[in-house]
Structure 1
């Protein structure tokens, strides 16, 4: 009952801000992964190069270069996964000591019960937890990709060679997709921290986060490089 009595500290603006954050998180991910054919995202363009990579790998001898690149990709997923665990631990520690956070907020004239600050931190923790799960899954998929890559014969005439290379490419793309989803969750988790300053701040942080994501996926210099003609 005490928690219900404190819900009046959440305003309509807070509800709109949280809904906007979650809505844009889902919609932005969908648009980045399923862009119009006339304007592919950077992620989609790189996915095509992953397929070309697996084709080139067939005749490459030795395949040390391919193994090194794959290992660096797995290390990236492990690093971000570990960072997410640290962030989750820090968030839980902050929630367990919300009274201190409430004291700081009172000094900034942002007075509210400790449970309200816990709920605001929880939103960011949910997104970070989602990111952690995506990074772990990405790590496993890159591992599966490595196993399939090792099974690809060097003989281009072998009937199973191209089929296995295609399988490796799709596993590689799936791993990268999970990794990118994890990164987007981290971006939105950072944006969710804006809620500590109020609903208006959360809306502003959400707009900034979406702007950064779409700029990098649809208007970045790296995207222009990928689109350059190779003829």
Structure 2
């Protein structure tokens, strides 16, 4: 194994590859930090939605029929389950490609691309799989947290005047927020896995994929129509 790495990596892993991978990882973590901890004057959609999740639990305490709330929570859990299942399928497909890189090499030959060692194809697939595995773990944990939230909501007394009603509802809101945060991290990992697939076209493809995915992610968090609608509603509250 060491001899294979020593022989093939120096010849195939160029400076452009290293720069592209480093750019991807740096941008991924910086994007996550900016979305989760944005400046106070420029909150992201993810941060703004925390207020609605807390308000949801306040309304939940005073709502007589709570079937509506259970339906919302069931929908959230279905979404996490769907994405977790999709990630499992993607992981299986990626593992199959690692075991047989011939299809990718054949596509490269059809495109008149340079001959790339099988080890490099495996590294490129592993980069994509790293993001997909991270997404899978986040979706599974989010699914479980939404389950905890459901149990905590069921423990809220039907009497809104009960001393522990609002306290338990607020605790459920915080668990709900943590579940949503993990779900959002999983989604970002899926986005960047798609961007990492650009490396299959070479280092410039990886750089282009990183830029495109980052731009789309930041636009949806800081410059989307949904964000403008949320800010308009919060402005009316103030």
- Shorter-chain TM-score category? over 0.9
C-alpha separation in 2, matches of 1:114 and 1:2: 11
Give the Cα separation in 1 of the matches to 2:4 and 2:170: 58
* Other-structure match for 1:212: 216
Q: TM-score, normalised by structure 1?
A: 0.98
Q: Supply the distance in 1 between the matched residues of 2:228 and 2:121 (Cα, whole angstroms).
A: 43
Q: Which residue does the alignment assign to 1:154?
A: 158
Runs of 4+ in 1 over 6 A off after TM superposition: none
Q: CA deviation at 1:104?
A: 2.0
Alignment RMSD, CA only? Answer: 0.9
CA deviation map 1:110-166 (0-9, x unaligned): 311111111101100010000000000000000000000001112222111111011
- Structure 2 residue 58 is matched with structure 1 residue 55: yes
**Distance of 2:163 and 2:21 partners within structure 1:** 53
Partner of 2:46: 43
Which residue of structure 2 aligns with residue 4 of structure 1?
6
Give the paired residue count.
Answer: 231
Q: Which residue of 1 aligns with 2:29?
A: 26
**8 Å Cα contact 1:130-1:185 kept in structure 2:** yes
* TM norm structure 2: 0.95
Query: Would you say 1:77 and 2:80 are equivalent positions?
Result: yes
Report how far residue 106 of structure 1 moved. Answer: 2.3
Partner of 1:17: 20
Quote the offset at 1:12 in angstroms. Answer: 0.5
Q: Which stretch has the larger CA shift, 126-135 or 107-116?
A: 107-116
Unaligned runs of 5+ in 2: none
Alpha-carbon distance in structure 2 between the residues aligned to 1:154 and 1:2: 66
